[in-house]
Amino acid sequence: MAGFSFDERARLSIELALASPDQAESGRRRLNAAASAAGLSGAEIDLARRGASFDHQISKAIDLALANEDDDNKLLRMAAVRAGIDEAALLRIEAFARDAKAVAR
């Protein structure tokens, strides 16, 4: 399995998953445009907004990003590692999700 890269597609997929359903229309359009420019199809954008991805590794990254900080994320982390996501990428995903959730509050 190829290594995982926390690249623009992965970051935007996670950002879409973390976005509030009540997000302002201008924010939705901006995020959709950025995702489209990064190469995500309309179906990929819709799926990311529902917290999933057609890409197995990105799907595991989204699962980890959506987890509550109070939860024991050991199983999610193990699933992500089995999918080919290394520890450095896991830490970046968790930090990105933590920052995005803090901004949303």
Domain assignment of residue 87, yes or no:
yes
Domain span at residue 54? 8-104
Question: With 70 as the cut, is the pLDDT of residue 2 above it?
Answer: no
Q: In the numeric block, which tokens belong to residue 38? A: 């990064």
Whole-number Å distance between alpha carbons of 97 and 69: 10
> In this predicted model, what pLDDT tens digit does every residue of 79-101 receive, in sequence order?
999 999 999 999 999 999 999 98
Percent of the residues in the chain that have a pLDDT greater than 90, as a whole number: 79
pLDDT for position 101:
86
Question: With 70 as the cut, is the pLDDT of residue 1 above it?
Answer: no
Which residue is it, tokens 């959709």?
Answer: 32
Counting the structural domains of the chain, the total is 1
Give the Cβ contact number of residue 59 at 10 Å.
20
Residue 3's pLDDT band, with cuts at 50, 70 and 90, is confident
Question: With 80 as the cut, is the pLDDT of residue 9 above it?
Answer: yes
Domain assignment of residue 3, yes or no:
no
Domain assignment of residue 90, yes or no:
yes
